[in-house]
Amino acid sequence: MRIGPLTVKTPLFLSPLAGYTNLPFRLVIREVGGVGLCTTDLVNARSLLEKRAKAFKLIETNAADTPLAVQLFGSVPEEMRDAAIVLASRGVAAVDINMGCPVRKVVHVGGGSAMMTTLRKTAALVAGMVNAVKIPITAKMRLGWDADNLTAPDLARALEEVGVAAIFVHGRTREQGFRGTVNLAGIRQVVAAVKTIPVIGNGDVVTPQAAKKMLDETGCAGVSIGRGAFYNPWIFQQTQHFLTTGNLLPEASFAERIRVMCRHLDLMVAVFGEELGCRMFRKVAPWYARRFGPAGEFNKQVVTVSSRAQFHTILANYFQWRRQFLDATGELLPRFQSAPLQASFMCTPAEAAPQGAIPVPRGPVEVW
Ligand SMILES: Cc1cc2nc3c(=O)[nH]c(=O)nc-3n(C[C@H](O)[C@H](O)[C@H](O)COP(=O)(O)O)c2cc1C
């Protein structure tokens, strides 16, 4: 599919997850396969212009990390424009604008969801960015501030008029946070509001079937996956296969999960150094462990990890401990297998997705 002048190989996108979608994770996702475009964590436009080390670490990339979009936030038109120019000059494939961030700090400075209440001002800011660079500018938003203010269709239309190349829309309102069901009809309204640009649906896609349902029921051109990718880095590959063949690939085996988790740690160490990389990995490893079956012992120890050698000792201990849950062939006994996740919009009203059905990871931004 195309995002303005950019062609992406699959209609599947990695959503920005502040604190998580760093270079190591993006490389893991790309190595597993199936993703069309990855986006960085959100980056403060002003910090980038002020050449702050933290902002530059967030946009750190390498030759294997393409195509890459950087997500910017900010509310000063000149800063957003100049930050887009900096990113374009560094070879970034696209710039995404954060319009759906429900974090008080971002809303307070006029960025994030507050943008949706001031359409004209926002369109002017975006026009300044679009006119300053050749790479596509995209926008990521929620459906609106609350159920009475579903502004996304109007905003999407206004942004298309000033040249935005694609819209990403999380099918919840700011007021909803991560509660309740993703509103597919709401996403469909955004699709209907634009003339030609692709709308990419987002929210709770945790299985290939959920991706297909979102595509089918909203008419969106692609889906963007956040937490589902953290939970299951194979989701892009599995979804791409399902969309093209109609068949489901088998779940990743335990051995494959361990292989990819270790690769993830190696990349964390390469990018952040051994001490920081291991410390950061303390919150990553439990996501892999969610599909290991019983993993209490692993999770308890991994929060202390501070070197690669220690991690491998923890892993060896865990393999020993986990043997009690295996059958004679080394497979996890069925009663210990983890239940699959289900997207809120795949549940019947009776089983209506309880709050937090898909875990919301804790990160530097606590209230996503
Ligand atoms: C820990 C965390 C961090 C997030 N950081 C960002 C961010 O930096 N920018 C953004 O636009 N959305 C951010 N989001 C929202 C996600 O991109 C996505 O829209 C949301 O999680 C719904 O998709 P999902 O159900 O596939 O996770 C974040 C979400 C979480 C849980």
Domains of the chain in sequence order = 2-245 (3.20.20.70), 254-290+292-336 (no CATH)
Q: If DSSP codes are grouped into helix, strand and coil, which group holds residue 94?
A: strand
Cβ-in-10-Å burial (0-12, 13-18, 19+) of 42 comes to buried
Rounded distance, CA 73 to CA 193, Å?
24
What pLDDT, in 10s, does the model give residues 251-308? 999 999 999 999 999 999 999 999 999 999 999 999 999 999 999 999 999 999 999 9
DSSP state of 214: H
pTM: predicted TM-score of the whole model, two decimal places: 0.92
For residue 155, report the distance from its CA to the centre of ligand 1, in Å. Answer: 20
Query: Does the Cβ of 228 fall within 6 Å of ligand 1?
Result: yes
Return the structure tokens found at 235: 């989701």
What pLDDT, in 10s, does the model give residues 34-80? 999 999 999 999 999 999 999 999 999 999 999 999 999 998 999 99
Mark whether 278 is an active-site residue: no
Name the band, by pLDDT with cuts 50, 70 and 90, for residue 145. Answer: confident
Query: Does the Cβ of 170 fall within 6 Å of ligand 1?
Result: yes
Query: Does the Cβ of 314 fall within 6 Å of ligand 1?
Result: no
pLDDT of residue 63: 97
For residue 329, report the distance from its CA to the centre of ligand 1, in Å. Answer: 40
- DSSP string for 271-291: HH-HHHHHHHHTTTHHHHHTT
For residue 270, report the distance from its CA to the centre of ligand 1, in Å. Answer: 25
pLDDT of residue 208: 97
The per-residue b/e assignment along 233-267, b for 16 or more CB within 10 angstroms, e otherwise, is bbbbbbbbbbbeeeeeeeebebeebbebbebbbeb
Pocket test for ligand 1, best of 35, 170, 220, 366 (most atoms within 8 A of CB): 170
Mean pLDDT value across residues 131-151: 91
What pLDDT, in 10s, does the model give residues 102-129? 555 556 666 666 655 578 888 999 999 9
Return the structure tokens found at 305: 């990890």
Q: What amino acid occupies position 295?
A: A
CA neighbor of 40 nearest in space, from 52, 24, 51: 24
Rounded distance, CA 190 to CA 167, Å?
9
Percent of the chain with pLDDT strictly greater than 70: 89
Query: Does the Cβ of 177 fall within 6 Å of ligand 1?
Result: no
Q: CB–CB of 167/159 below 8 Å?
A: yes
For residue 15, report the distance from its CA to the centre of ligand 1, in Å. Answer: 6
Determine phi and psi for 258, rounding to 5 degrees.
-65, -45
Residue 365 scores a pLDDT above 50: no
Query: Does the Cβ of 205 fall within 6 Å of ligand 1?
Result: yes
Catalytic residue among 38, 101, 220, 278: 101
Question: What percent of the residues of the chain are helix, what percent strand, and what percent coil, each to the nearest 5?
Answer: 45, 15, 40
Rounded distance, CA 36 to CA 104, Å?
31
pLDDT of residue 108: 61
Determine which residue's CA is closest to atom 2 belonging to ligand 1: 17
